[in-house]
Structure 1
Amino acid sequence: MKDRYKLNLHVKTLEPALRYKAIANENAQIIDAYSTDSELQEYHLKHSKMINSSSHLTRSTSSTGRNAQKYPQLEEVLNQLAGKITEKDMQDMNYQVNVEGKSPGKVARTYLTEHQFISN
């Protein structure tokens, strides 16, 4: 960003949780963030659309990791969701889990049921 927009910035690398605290406490002016981060809602921040988002959900299986080998059918099932969960929906679900303390499983089940991906 510094080079792309020719900004005179002092750049520091911070852990994700610290980035949001730094900007909330006005110790930072710009941070890198994923558009699906729950902290965007928590701290009432806006995600810049000037920069290409690397968080665009193109494959819902990117987070299956170790389960992919254990459950090979998982990739095919999750690929059915590819491109159907919006960034805003994902941010809302992350907020429910990270900020409101809801169970990831319950949040996912509610979303999938409400959007008719599964039946109740």
Structure 2
Amino acid sequence: MAFAGKWETETQEGYDAFCKLLGIPDDIIEKGRDYKLITEVTQDGNDFSWTQIYPTNAKVTNKFTIGKECDMETIGGKKFKATVSMDGGKLSVTFPNYHHTSEICGGKLVEETFKELLKFSS
């Protein structure tokens, strides 16, 4: 699936809950509610450059190769190691506080973030 392109946020479902998960203060959540985030993706086979540009001109770029561990960074500046996988045309990666998936549906980039709710016991 080709992810390359420049994508602008159309809708945000669960925005407040996601921001609270990240520890963003209520006043900043309020300011950002109507922001239009721009995501620019370049793709060369399994190699990606994924940049998110915020209205304040802050941006975060993560470069990765599917199936290989890489260094990544959150918008808050937290650096971590992760491996992005692809399954059925959907990219998937686990950030420190949440899991993120991306796919192309109907000519649009659809990103979902959610907190892992699975618990296991022995």
The TM-score, its normalising length taken from structure 2, stands at 0.26
Q: Which has the higher contact order (CA 8 A, sep 6+)?
A: 1
The structure where helix makes up a greater share of residues is 1
The structure where strand makes up a greater share of residues is 2
